[in-house]
Amino acid sequence: MTGTLVVFAKWPEPGAVKTRLCPPLTPEQAAAFYDAMLGDVLDATAREAPRRGLALALAVTPAERARDFSARAPAYRVFAQQGADLSQRGGAQRVLLRGSDSPALAPEVLDAALAALARVDVALSPDRDGGYNLVALRRFAPGLFAHAMSTSTVLDDTRTAAARLGLASEVLAPGFDIDTAADFAPLREARPRASALCPRTYAWLDAHAELTRA
């Protein structure tokens, strides 16, 4: 293997995941929807990462659910999310970090991120809300994520931190994650290309169409 792809995941507990989807969803529905996304992300990543020479890792919270995650995702090396920032959690060298709420992330984005690491130290695939859904690091970069992460300026803040550390960065083609009800629209729009990537997610949307259409 020539690197690691780390998925960041939470245990799908009602009231602990995707709370910004409530309303229109209940906490139980939001957890079930997140569970569907998580299953799709784990399957797609387990399929695509080894094809690109990337080992599989799963950074989880809460820590006491690590054994449950190991049972659910046996192909992954599971560890609790810990450390001063994301770069410490992810690993030391050639690491890709992705969340578990961007199930429509195309495999081609992984290729673009890996190709970018031949040119720069950090590559980021931006979200619609000022954040990002994928980060690629050429090497360990302590301090790169030592700023607030759930803000509308996190992409710019990360690039500023990279420059301060002497790291070259590049922004990849944009994607999206699912944080609020407004994000259901781009998820539906992505269906023609993404249905095979996230069948559980789209099945859940179909079963709850009355809640997920504005």
Can you give the pLDDT at residue 93?
72
What's the pLDDT tens digit per position in 114-156?
Answer: 999 999 999 999 988 778 999 999 987 888 887 655 666 788 8
For the ranges 11-20, 87-96, 113-122, which has the lowest average pLDDT? Answer: 87-96
Q: Is 198 domain-assigned?
A: yes
Section 163-184 average pLDDT: 94
- In terms of residue numbers, what domain contains 162? 3-209
Q: Is 37 domain-assigned?
A: yes
Q: Is 51 domain-assigned?
A: yes
Can you give the pLDDT at residue 81?
85
Residue scoring higher pLDDT (92 or 132): 132
Grade residue 35 by pLDDT with cuts at 50, 70 and 90. Answer: very high
Helical segments of the chain, H only: 27-48, 66-72, 86-90, 107-116, 154-164, 184-189, 191-194, 199-207, 209-212
Q: Contact at 8 Å (CB) between 133 and 44?
A: no
Grade residue 84 by pLDDT with cuts at 50, 70 and 90. Answer: very low
Q: Contact at 8 Å (CB) between 135 and 97?
A: yes
Can you give the pLDDT at residue 171?
96
Using the predicted structure, report yes or no on whether residue 86 has a pLDDT greater than 80. Answer: no
Grade residue 73 by pLDDT with cuts at 50, 70 and 90. Answer: very high
Alpha-carbon distance of 81 to 50, in angstroms, equals 22
Grade residue 85 by pLDDT with cuts at 50, 70 and 90. Answer: very low
Token pair 């991120």 in the structure block, residue:
113
What's the pLDDT tens digit per position in 44-66?
Answer: 999 999 999 999 999 999 999 99
Q: In what order do the strands lie in the sheet with 54-61?
A: 77-80, 54-61, 3-10, 93-98, 132-139, 122-126, 169-171
Section 23-41 average pLDDT: 98
Residue scoring higher pLDDT (123 or 81): 123
Using the predicted structure, report yes or no on whether residue 103 has a pLDDT greater than 80. Answer: yes
Using the predicted structure, report yes or no on whether residue 2 has a pLDDT greater than 90. Answer: no
The two tokens of residue 197 are 């990537």
CATH number of the CATH domain containing 116: 3.90.550.10
Q: Is 214 domain-assigned?
A: no
Helical segments of 49-125, H only: 66-72, 86-90, 107-116
Alpha-carbon distance of 30 to 20, in angstroms, equals 9
- What total of structural domains would you count in the chain? 1
Section 78-98 average pLDDT: 70
Q: Is 68 domain-assigned?
A: yes
